[in-house]
Amino acid sequence: IVVSNLLIAIVAGIYFNRSLSSQDEYEHLISDEIVLALEAQDILSDFKTQVQEWKNVLIRGADDAQRDKYWQRFQKTESRIQQQLDQLIPRIADQEARALMDRFRAAHQRMGE
pLDDT in tens, 41-88: 999 999 999 999 999 999 999 999 999 999 999 999 999 999 999 999
User: What value does the mean pLDDT of the chain take?
Assistant: 85
pLDDT in tens, 98-109: 999 999 999 999
Domain count, the chain: 1
Range of 33's domain? Answer: 2-112
Helix axes of 2-60 and 64-88: crossing angle, nearest 10 degrees: 160
pTM score of the predicted model: 0.73
How many angstroms separate the CA atoms of 77 and 66, rounded? 17
DSSP 11: H
